[in-house]
Copies of this chain bind each other. A is one copy, B any other.
Amino acid sequence: MKDERQMLHSDEVHEECGVFGMYDFDGNDVASEIYYGLFALQHRGQESCGIAVSDTEGPKGKVNAYKGMGLCNEVFTHEVLEGLHGNIGVGHVRYSTAGSSTRENAQPLVLNYVKGTLALAHNGNLVNAPQLRRELEYTGAIFQTTIDSEVIAYHIARERVKTPTVEAAVANAMKKIIGAYSLVIMSPRKLIGARDPYGFKPLCIGKKENAYILVSESCALSTIDAEFVRDVEPGEIVTITKDGIVSDKSMCLPKEKQARCVFEYIYFARPDSVFDGVSVYGSRIYAGRCLAKDSPVDADLVVGVPESGNAAALGYSMESGIPYGTAFVKNSYVGRTFIKPKQSSRVSAVKVKLNVLKEAVAGKRVIMIDDSIVRGTTSHLIVKMLRDAGAKEVHVKVSAPPFLYPCYFGTDIPSSDQLIASGRTIEQIRQIIGADSLAYLNIERLKELSEGLPICTACFTGKYPVDPPTEDIRGEYTK
């Protein structure tokens, strides 16, 4: 029981990054807009953030950057933002596993290279980063961070020596780097966006007055009152200069090879984002509907585990006609710096975070929708809380299939031995979490979530769109 409490915080799956780039042709400073854009992407990374800006009319290579550990509102102040002058810029929010959560690894990576400066913000993970690092080292390269972005930067820099433009260097670099990446790159006079040919991670284009934007999720466009233009296609490189946008699709793969991360639809992305034309909110409503269709159960109330289970619960309610309700109150002050109760404490972290509305559930048969079960410890506690509050039955529905395989593309799914679904039947899991019934999203339904767009389902199926790395990509040195 004590162990379970402690695992709460890690009983979630984490995204690894969000990127935001902006180029204002009218010469206005972009730092403030980038800040609010990052703020809207904060759910994609809470450990560090940074902004680098430059002036396209100023001296080449004069970059102002500010990075720090923590949330956007912890790192930045009005004073800092006002000191970041420049009409072109990139920003980044980052999540990472504990070992490499250091300030050195904060992005954007800002560097001097043969043609001045380059600032690079990256979302995703390469599968061949270790090999590429080693190859570079054998030609005398030095690495000051443990992030893949530095490997990408090196390849761009080396290609730039041989190619006429930075976008061509990016294209050449893309021939060597393999894996998941959505990139936003600022060179002295250009803003470049690139998405890996599989399209694992989102990246889209926005416009606000006379400025272009490149951003991980469309929700951030609404936040700053910008309009959505279109998604960057998997494999596409878009180059924004004062003359407008140029697209290079030479690196694109046939559509059927694409492999969007389906977990963006299920959990990562904000519901108000639209990813490659598919509404994330609609996708979650649909997942709820599927659960109602595929594994119906008689009950009095459908509730979501906040926040992410709510949309699927609504979908379940719509499909089944069973009333939607609220069963939980979440303490909205539980943040990054929350002091977790110690093992010796008589207080449970789950109860600090969530409380049950007795009034709402007492005497009722409850369907509880969650987006995933990782280790199962939290689910067990929440089911028990519902019962203690008087729920007569608790039926758990998960709006995703069971996690069975690690992700090598930028998602922090724990290793198999920590996944409750690994090596267990659904009935065994049901017993562990103490539910009256348990159902997962049918794996066949996954492709419907993206309205038929090709997706990566490796964490559920083990079918990796590209070969996973042969060596441990997490075996990095600590700084």
Cross-interface CB contact of A161 among B64, B73, B140, cutoff 8 Å:
B140
- CB within 8 Å of B: which of A102-135? 103-104, 109-114, 117-118, 133
Residues of B within 8 A of A479 (CB): 63-65, 110
CA distance A137 to B345 in the complex (A): 39
Residue A88 interfacial (CB < 8 Å): no
Tell me the count of chain A residues lying within 8 A, CB to CB, of chain B.
Answer: 97
Cross-interface CB contact of A142 among B112, B345, B357, cutoff 8 Å:
B112
Residues of B within 8 A of A282 (CB): 359
Residues of B within 8 A of A199 (CB): none
Write out, one digit per residue, whether chain A residues 255-274 have a CB within 8 A of any chain B CB (1) or not (0): 00000000000000011100
Known: A36-B352, A281-B360, A339-B77. A141 touches B157 (CB 8 A): yes
Nearest residue (CB) in B for A116 is B477
The answer to whether A318 touches B326, judged by C-beta atoms less than 8 angstroms apart, is no
CA distance A112 to B146 in the complex (A): 9
Cross-interface CB contact of A270 among B65, B150, B281, B329, cutoff 8 Å:
B329
Copies of the polypeptide in the assembly: 4
- CB within 8 Å of B: which of A448-479? 477-479
Residues of B within 8 A of A112 (CB): 133, 137, 142-144, 146, 477
- CB within 8 Å of B: which of A173-189? none
Which segment, of A217-225, A363-371, A390-398, A405-413, faces chain B?
Answer: A217-225
Cβ distance A364 to chain B, nearest Cβ, rounded Å: 13
Cross-interface CB contact of A225 among B32, B43, B351, B359, cutoff 8 Å:
B351
Nearest residue (CB) in B for A340 is B78
The answer to whether A117 touches B222, judged by C-beta atoms less than 8 angstroms apart, is no
CA distance A35 to B161 in the complex (A): 42
CA distance A118 to B326 in the complex (A): 42
Residues of B within 8 A of A222 (CB): 351, 355-356
The answer to whether B140 touches A158, judged by C-beta atoms less than 8 angstroms apart, is yes
Cβ distance A391 to chain B, nearest Cβ, rounded Å: 15
- CB within 8 Å of B: which of A420-448? none
Q: List 23 A-B contacts (CB under 8 A).
A: A32-B341, A43-B332, A62-B478, A63-B478, A64-B479, A76-B339, A78-B339, A78-B342, A112-B143, A113-B137, A139-B158, A140-B157, A142-B153, A208-B346, A223-B331, A223-B352, A224-B347, A224-B351, A225-B351, A270-B355, A272-B357, A310-B326, A332-B332
Give 4 new A-B contacts, CB below 8 A, not counting A32-B346, A109-B144: A73-B338, A140-B157, A271-B329, A310-B326
